[in-house]
Structure 1
Amino acid sequence: MNRIDRLYALAEELRAAGARGRTARQLAARFEVSVRTIERDLSALGQAGVPLAAKQGRTGGYSVDRAMSLPPLNFTPREAMAVAVALSRSEHVLFARDSRTALQKIVAAMPQRDLDEARTATAKVRLLVQRTPDPDGEVAEQIWRAVRHSQVLRIQYTDVGGVETVREIEPQHVVVGPNGSYLTAWCHLRQEDRVFRMDRITKAERTATLLLRPPASDELHVDGYETRLPDAALHPEDLFPTPT
């Protein structure tokens, strides 16, 4: 997490904590940085106008007045419940942490009465859980960066028969499904589109190799399923029909 993102997340963490606040040590553990770094960040937030309060003593810590900063969005209790349920379904190693912080921002922006109603409603929902093998976190991060930046990956891959190969691939899509997660890619070794189980990729490193893939073919079927973009793909206008 870069510093700008951490500063924003730090302010949201303190807003969500309310009057209880957080100690510098708790914040350092939460963001996986040193206490000294957190103290510098808190100083920067104070200089930027965030209304921080510091309480001394054994039970002391830092807090921020939730009423002093306007939330960018207001969610109804049912909207918050819907988002919480949707985010709870994303336990993939690539998205788990971001799902938690996204939900934390929603919670921080809600009035207490609406938050209590959303929590009560959400407690009446249950999810069916199907355990699937997760890829290694560091490997998954390298894969995601290569997908985002259109870089060639050198991977160490073990197939279903236990045969291990090292190959260079051009990642196309991360595919999250009910039976696990996959990577679709153009394989330099096989010279064709291939689908790789991400939990079978034991090593991944980005390279400076030039992209060689021919013009894109149709999207692959993965694990017997068709693939599609997440709903609206962050284009909410696609959710509504165009007026005629």
Structure 2
Amino acid sequence: MTRTDRLYALVEELRAVAPRPRSSRWLAEKFGVSSRTIERDVSALQQGGVPIWAEPGRAGGYCLDPAHTLAPLGFTVDEALAMMISLGALATSPFREAAASALRKVVAVTDDRRLNETALLATRIHLLGEHRSNEAPRELADALRTGHVLQIAYSDRNGIVTSRHVEPMGFVVKGSDWYLIAWCRLRNGLRAFRGDRISTAESLAERPPRRPLSAQDLGIVYGELRRVGTGEESL
């Protein structure tokens, strides 16, 4: 275990038992280092702003505020590669700018050795998709978050363009295609709008109550519909 990994694991261990303390001897045995090393690690974390304090006495030790969250101190090569692949797949999505920003953060917290190895492996991975001249407007991502009504210009499969007011409800992704799921006021019903067929999207001031959306509402008759999330729930 590297020191970076140990620092992160140390914080996680203290948070898991908080507000109870862990002694430096107990932590040293767990991580296979000396008590002096644990003391140096704790000092480094404290200097970095992590709220760790010492409880005196025989039953004392180091304590951590259980509400404290610590940004990852580094990714493994496999983790960084998975992040690069996932974020790279969003390059033509409404979330492409946020994905690019997130990727810069992944790079920033990955040490040079792992980053170089990850970058080398990434050159062997390619994402195959159809070339499209139009990308989904980024306003779609903002509207999903804010809940504002969108005025969109949408071209159907025959190239006929209509102007519509829609209430964004979600997205469905199939291959390289992103579909905005929205309540269409023109059709008075739930519709799926392919992102590359939306030429413009303007956020309006109106913010109606958010409509519920379930997998059953989508009426998908083929394929497997999977959810995305924090990883705590089933996908």
TM-score (norm 2): 0.57
Q: Which has the larger radius of gyration?
A: 2
After superposition, residues 198-209 of structure 1 pair within 5 angstroms as 198-209=195-206
Q: Tell which deviates more after alignment, 104-113 or 210-219.
A: 210-219
**Which of residues 231, 234, 238 is equivalent to 2:233?**
238
Amino acid at match of 2:125: R
Corresponding residue for 2:90?
A: 90
Identity among equivalent pairs (%)? 34
Corresponding residue for 2:55?
A: none
How far off its partner does 1:116 sit? Answer: 2.8
How far off its partner does 1:185 sit? Answer: 0.9
Corresponding residue for 1:49?
A: none
After superposition, residues 34-183 of structure 1 pair within 5 angstroms as 72-123=72-123, 125-133=124-132, 135-136=134-135, 140-183=137-180
How far off its partner does 1:226 sit? Answer: 4.6
Could you tell me how far apart the structure 1 residues matched to 2:225 and 2:134 are?
20
Bigger helix share: 1
How far off its partner does 1:184 sit? Answer: 0.9
Tell me: CA distance 1:85–1:119, structure 2 relative to 1, closer, same or farther (3 Å).
same
Amino acid at match of 1:158: S
- SS of the equivalent of 1:151 reads coil
How far off its partner does 1:128 sit? Answer: 4.2
Deviation per CA, 1:112-135, whole angstroms, max 9, x where unpaired? 223333333334x32241125364
Deviation per CA, 1:125-151, whole angstroms, max 9, x where unpaired? 3224112536456xx222222221112
Amino acid at match of 1:142: E
- SS of the equivalent of 2:73 reads coil
Could you tell me how far apart the structure 2 residues matched to 1:115 and 1:212 are?
44
**Which of residues 192, 198, 201 is equivalent to 2:189?**
192
How far off its partner does 1:237 sit? Answer: 2.8
Residues 133 and 180, structure 1, Cα contact 8 Å, conserved in 2: no
What are structure 2's unaligned runs of at least 5 residues?
1-69
Could you tell me how far apart the structure 1 residues matched to 2:103 and 2:151 are?
35
Could you tell me how far apart the structure 2 residues matched to 1:96 and 1:213 are?
24
Residues 179 and 194, structure 2, Cα contact 8 Å, conserved in 1: yes
Deviation per CA, 1:159-213, whole angstroms, max 9, x where unpaired? 1122222221111113332142211111112111111112222222222446388
Could you tell me how far apart the structure 2 residues matched to 1:107 and 1:214 are?
37
Tell me: CA distance 1:76–1:223, structure 2 relative to 1, closer, same or farther (3 Å).
same
Could you tell me how far apart the structure 1 residues matched to 2:189 and 2:107 are?
46
Tell me: CA distance 1:147–1:110, structure 2 relative to 1, closer, same or farther (3 Å).
closer
Q: Tell which deviates more after alignment, 215-224 or 198-207.
A: 215-224
RMSD: 3.3
Residues 132 and 178, structure 1, Cα contact 8 Å, conserved in 2: no
- SS of the equivalent of 1:238 reads coil
Amino acid at match of 1:228: R
Deviation per CA, 1:35-94, whole angstroms, max 9, x where unpaired? xxxxxxxxxxxxxxxxxxxxxxxxxxxxxxxxxxx9742212222222222222222243
Q: Tell which deviates more after alignment, 178-187 or 127-136.
A: 127-136
Aligned residues: 166
Residues 152 and 200, structure 2, Cα contact 8 Å, conserved in 1: yes
